[in-house]
Amino acid sequence: MSAIDPVLQKVLEIVPFRLSADDGPESARERFRDLPRSPILPEVSAADRSIDGPAGPVALRIYRPPTGESTLPGVIFIHGGGWTVGDLDTYDGTARMHAAGGDAVVVSVHYRLAPEHPFPAAVDDVWAATTWVHDHAAEIGVDPERLAVAGDSAGGNLAAATAQSARDAGIPLRFQLLWYPSTTFDTSLPSFTENAHAPILDLAACKGFSRWYVGDLDVSTAPPTLIPARGDLSGLAPAYIAVAGHDPLRDDGLRYAELLTAADVPVEVHNAETLVHGYLGYAGVVPAATEATDRGLAALRSALH
C-alpha cells in the first residue's frame, strides 16, 4: 500500500485528529467541529429554509453558483459524520464546492442524528428532502430531470439508499456521487484490518458510530435503506465512487462498485491511494486531496450538463 501523501502527513502531524465514539455523541460532535474545513467560496450564494419532515421540520441550505442561468441541475447533498456528527455549518464549505464544481443548485440536508434518533430517522429525513426538491424544483430554479444525490461517508450510505428509493418511486436521478461510502457493514473486508488504526477514522470509530446508528436493529436482517449493498441495484443512476487507500471503508466502496457493475449500472471508481478518510476536508490545502476532489466534482458536472 502506498504511503500517506507527504503533504497530508505533515498536516496530520500539525493538526492531529481522530474521530471517536468513546466519550459519547456530544464529545464526538465537539471534536468534529475542530476538523479542517473546505475553503469557503463566497461567490456561491446560500439560503436557509425549513420543510416539513416525517417527525418535524427538516433544515435545508440551498446553494446557487454564480451563473446567468435561471434553471440549473440539482444536487441533494447529504453530509457525513457517522450519522452522529456534522450539520449544515460544518459542511458549508463542502456543499459550496459541490455547487461550484458541479455548476448546480445544491440542497444540503440536516437530517436527525443518532444515537438520539437512530435508523431510520436519517433515511426518512433525507427522503423527505429529496421528494421536496423534486416536487419544488421550479421554485428553487432546478431542472427536475437533472437531479443527483451526493454524500460522504455516512452521507454516502444515505445517498446510495436514496438512489434506490428514487428509482422505486420513479424520481429520475442522473447521478450518484459517493465519497468513501459505507454500504456493506462488512468489517471482514481487508481494508478494515489494514487500516484499523488509520488517521481520522479507525475501526473502533466505525464500529462505535455504527452501533449508535443501528440501535436495537438486528443487522443480519436489516433492509437496504440501512445496508445499500443488499438492495436490488438494477436500473440505478450511474455512480462515481471515491475511496481512499488509508481508510477502513476503502474496500466497502470498492465492493459496492463491483455490485453495481454486476447489475449493469455504469460506475467510475477512483482510489486515492495516498489519502485518508474525510479527504474532502483537506481540499484546497493538500494538493492530492484537491485533485481527488476535483476529479469527482468534474464527473458530477459532466453527468448533469
| CATH label of the domain that carries residue 177 | 3.40.50.1820
Marked catalytic residue, from 5, 103, 110, 153: 153
103 is catalytic: no
Over residues 138-160, the pLDDT tens digits come to 999 999 999 999 999 999 999 99
Three-class SS of the chain:
CCCCCHHHHHHHHHCCCECCCCCCHHHHHHHHCCCCCCCCCCCCEEEEEEEEEECEEEEEEEEECCCCCCCEEEEEEECCCCCCCCCCCCCHHHHHHHHHHHCCEEEEEECCCCCCCCCCHHHHHHHHHHHHHHHCCHHHCEEEEEEEEEEECHHHHHHHHHHHHHHHHCCCCCEEEEECCCCCCCCCCHHHHHCCCCCECCHHHHHHHHHHHHCCCCHHHCCCCCCHHHCCCCCCCCEEEEEEEECCCHHHHHHHHHHHHHCCCCEEEEEEEEEECCHHHHCCCCHHHHHHHHHHHHHHHHHHC
The fraction of the chain above a pLDDT of 70, given in percent, is: 98
pLDDT at position 282: 93
Q: Scan for cell 502527513, then name that residue.
A: 9
Give me the catalytic one of 98, 117, 246, 277. Answer: 277
Q: Which of 124, 125, 152, 247 is catalytic?
A: 247
The band of 96, judged by pLDDT with boundaries at 50, 70 and 90, is: very high
Give the mean model confidence (pLDDT) for residues 247-261: 98
Number of domains in the chain: 1
Q: How far, in Å, CA of 22 to CA of 96, rounded?
A: 31
Does the residue 266 lie in any domain?
A: yes
Which pLDDT score is estimated for 222? Answer: 96
pLDDT for the residue 38: 64
Domain extent, residue 261, equals 6-304
pLDDT tens string 21-72 = 999 999 999 988 876 666 778 899 999 999 999 999 999 999 999 988 899 9
Domain membership flag for residue 141: yes
Known active-site residue 92? no
Catalytic residue at 305?
A: no
Q: What is the pLDDT of residue 179?
A: 99
Give the global pTM.
Answer: 0.97
Is residue 15 one of the residues assigned to a domain? Answer: yes
Is 1 a domain residue?
no
